Structure 1
Amino acid sequence: MSDIVKIIASFNTGRDPERLAMKYKAMRSSPFVFLRGTCHLFYERLPRAQVLDDAPPVWICGDMHLENFGSYKADNRLIYFDNNDFDEACLAPTLYELVRLLSSVLVGAVDLKLSRAQALALCHTAVDSYAAALAFGKSRWIEAETAAGMVRDLFDALANRTRAAHLDRRTVLKGKLRTLKVDGKKALPVGDKQRAAVTQFMNQFAASEPNPDFYRILDVARRIAGTGSLGVDRYVILVEGKGSPDGNFLIDLKEALPSSVMPHVRVPQPKWATEAQRVVDVQRRNQAVSQAFLHAVEFNQRSYVLRSLQPSEDRVALSDWDGKLPRLEAVVNSMAELSAWAHLRSGGRQKSSIADELIAFGNRKDWQLPLIELATQCETLVMDDWKAYCEAYDRGAFDLTRAKG
């Protein structure tokens, strides 16, 4: 595609060059990472299809794929497994969500060492599980006691991890004080001006909280996380929490940008006070219990989401399926069910479909096969775009140092 450079470069304009270079390099590594890094391109390329337009509107996360599920500590102090990325959230036909999940299975098959038949079997698992969960009409959730297979393995690993061990991964302990580990992999240094601005913001935020001392800043760094959002203004903040050294907490502060899905959706959207308010409100509606410290805030006169830091390690290790397809089927089944439960849970809010409409849609049998066929078309488009991207990347079209010069 001759326009691949223009589209991707235009979308990423204004991002932190150091982290953006990391994103571009990662996207070169595989079609699946490319898919994760180009949600905007996926929906721009998504073919108009009756199967999508006929689906009832719901609150979607917008960037549904195999890596956007993980565990997190909720504001009730319990740990859940759920969808955890709502940057692209908007009101859209429900199958916009599912077609991206199915496409991620097909595109990710090479990385996961899946045969074509196995990848298609997982797609059938996803649509069947999603339809059944909608038809049942009751929202549920996944926690340690209800998890199975690789999701249960994740919970078991987290149960054996202490707060000190969690902190040790991200910080350096000197005596009784911790500082962030600035290793170029999870974090990058901040300048004095950035540090002062974040500190001032957190002090103002803390003043409005019941326990201001909890948010006393110990250190700040630029956070490296995700793929699609790499380069967006984002910080990891080490705060006093419940006391040094092992009661400290890690906070994530990330700029909220407009949803890249919304321009490609015909469903009218409500007016939001800020982009962060959109992200936070949809996350609160869709998750059974909200992530800890979740707030929509204003920093540097821009919109940001403040929340507890969720380590990238707190995701299911999909590569550990060990050639046993039922292990992957159980994970995909959980992801599809979680999506359906989120749509039911947020039903009837600001023009989203009510439960009766979603139950009726789940009972229909006419959309499953056309959706899988559409996902195979999307797979072809993604693969073609990735090949074009690789050619452009290899000839230096995404070399930020050269572009700067």
Structure 2
Amino acid sequence: MRDPFERICSFNQSRDAQFTAMKYTLMTSSAFRFFRGSCHLYYEDLAAQQTWSDLTTTWICGDLHVENFGSYRSRHQVVYFDLNDFDEAILAHPTWDVSRFICSIFLAGKALNITDENLKIIAEQLLDEYIKALAFGKAYAVEKETVDGMLKKYIQMVSERDFIEFIETHSVLDKKTQQRYLKIDQKKYFKIDSKKRYAELISMFTTYLNPPAQQPIIRWQVLDVAVRVAGTGSIGLDRYVFLVYDSDNKNYILFDVKQAQTSSLSLSPFFKIEQPEWTDQAQRIQFIQTLMQYETPAELSRLDFNGQAYIVKALQPEQDKIDFKQCMDKPKKFTDACYNMARLIAYAQLRSAGRKGSSNADELINFAQDAALWKTQLLKYTYNYAQQVEQDYQSFCKSYAAVMADSSKASK
């Protein structure tokens, strides 16, 4: 019997209970948010039920949907738009990323009040863009000089954001001590209640930024740390935001430090593709992200803390996602917003071709040229699976409401 609530609870049982409850509440807000928080369900089902043949392999994002594309500034100070979440990244079939992306088109589009008829047209158009880009065989970058329409305006807007305003939005200056602290809003940032844990984190990150070989000079002063909640799928894992002062450049920086876990795709009993051996899961994420993105975000690195591996990156005012509310009731605008996303999937696969078990570029090109063999089946499967997600969402909401009601009665 299919029980999405039980499957989701089983998958998340090792995570922090306080934040897992927050994750479940967010997942009840819409079918699309539910989809974002249950990547493991999608691939458990796809691995067992795939209706088309795909013998090629490539590096995939693993949790690809329209909210996992966004902007960021590279170490060269250029703002790019690209795939931006690699927690689930793994060696798999190229159509796996594409199918999840197309499924997200149906779910996000429905939330934008776009009809099924229009969404089927949009899905096919976007799949054709992916196929055409993959068949062409050359990977490009997406930056404001190379795009137009809604995405060009979006990249231009985020490029002009003020860094000082960004820091002041996320922190506050104590006028007495002239010390800056993070703003604890109980939504995105949460206080670390354990003084011991707080001190350990400050000490660990100070040593990480200022290695013993560079001491006694302390360039990076770690001023504060808080628990950070962002996205949906990763909620419940250890995640922190650090406020740091760079004494050389006289400015503040925010660092996101997120626990790295095994990709949920590889946990499926139906998943059979052999993976490289990794030193730790943070190495996997950093390696694949470096392969697939045209340029990586500034300060991307990894660290170890108490036996756990973490991914480190700088938070930036340029780091953002498209506001899809602008596409409400506007199928053409929704297509415009997602047009380059479809192409970026192909570019990322071509960029990482031939590395550590991935099919080479010629094999991927041939696969795209034979798209007539699998395109129709993929579109049909993803549309039908979007309907399955809607049913799973309703079932999850009903079960979660019953659990919360029982919990409320027991507390009285």
TM-score of the pair, normalised by structure 1: 0.93
Q: Residues of 2 paired with 1:37 and 1:359: CA distance?
A: 32
Shift of residue 244, structure 1, vs aligned partner: 8.8
1:228 aligns with 2:233: yes
How far does the alpha carbon of each residue in 1:166-195 deviate from its partner, in whole angstroms, 9 at most, with x for none? 112211133454211100121000131221
* Residue from 293, 300, 317 that aligns with 2:323: 317
Amino acid at match of 1:373: K
Residue type matched to 1:226 in 2?
G
Residue of structure 2 equivalent to 1:304 = 310
Measured against aligned partners, the alpha-carbon deviations of 1:94-123 in whole angstroms (never above 9, x if no partner) come to 001011011111122232111112211221
The range that moved more, 116-125 or 2-11, is 2-11
Cα gap change, 1:313 to 1:290, in 2 (>3 Å): closer
Q: 1:358 aligns with which of 354, 361, 364?
A: 364
Q: Which amino acid aligns with 1:69?
A: F
Partner Cα distance (2:93, 2:408) in 1: 41
Alignment of 1:249-328 (within 5 A): 249-264=253-268, 265-309=271-315, 314-321=320-327, 323-328=329-334
Does structure 1 retain, via aligned residues, the 8 Å contact 2:70–2:81? yes
Which AA in structure 1 matches 2:396?
A: Y
> Counterpart of 1:143?
143
Whole-angstrom CA distance in 1 between matches of 2:208 and 2:407: 35
- Partner SS state of residue 66, structure 2: coil
For residues 185 and 318 of structure 2, what CA distance do their matches in structure 1 show?
Answer: 15
Aligned partners of 1:274, 1:299: CA distance in 2, in Å? Answer: 12
Q: Distance in 2 between matches of 1:353 and 1:398?
A: 51
Contact 1:297 1:303 in 2 (8 A): yes
2:207 to 204, 208, 215: 204
Aligned partner of 1:173 in structure 2 is 173
Give 1:20-99 correspondences, 5 Å limit. Answer: 20-46=20-46, 47-51=48-52, 53-99=53-99
> Per the alignment, do residues 239 and 373 of structure 1 end up closer, same or farther by CA in structure 2, a change over 3 Å counting?
same
Aligned to 2:4: 4
The answer on whether the counterparts of 2:226 and 2:242 sit within 8 Å (CA) in structure 1 is yes
Pairwise CA RMSD of aligned residues?
2.4
SS at structure 1 position matched to 2:185: coil
Contact 2:113 2:328 in 1 (8 A): no
Q: Distance in 1 between matches of 2:327 and 2:152?
A: 13
Query: Which digits, 9 at most, give the CA deviation of each residue in 1:101-149, with x for residues without a partner?
Result: 1111112223211111221122112211110111111110111212322
Question: 2:183 touches 2:189 (CA, 8 Å); kept in 1?
Answer: yes
Q: Is the 8 A contact 1:58 1:343 kept in 2?
A: yes
Identity %: 35
Instruction: Name the stretch that deviates more: 118-127 or 212-221.
Output: 212-221
1:396 to 362, 384, 403: 403
For residue 375 of structure 1, what is the aligned residue in structure 2?
382
Superposition deviation, residue 3 in structure 1: 2.9
Aligned with 1:168: secondary structure? helix
* Separation in 2, partners of 1:205, 1:402: 47
Q: Distance in 2 between matches of 1:107 and 1:306?
A: 31
After superposition, the Cα gap between the structure-2 partners of 1:38 and 1:244, relative to the gap in structure 1 and judged at 3 Å, is: same
**Matched residues in 2 for 1:254 and 1:82: separation?**
20
Q: Distance in 2 between matches of 1:114 and 1:243?
A: 51
- The answer on whether the counterparts of 1:122 and 1:332 sit within 8 Å (CA) in structure 2 is no
- In the alignment, which residue of structure 1 is the partner of 2:349? 343
Given that residues 296 and 303 in structure 1 are in contact (C-alpha distance below 8 angstroms), is that contact kept between their aligned partners in structure 2? yes
Distance apart, 1:50 and its partner CA:
4.3
1:195 to 198, 204, 214: 198
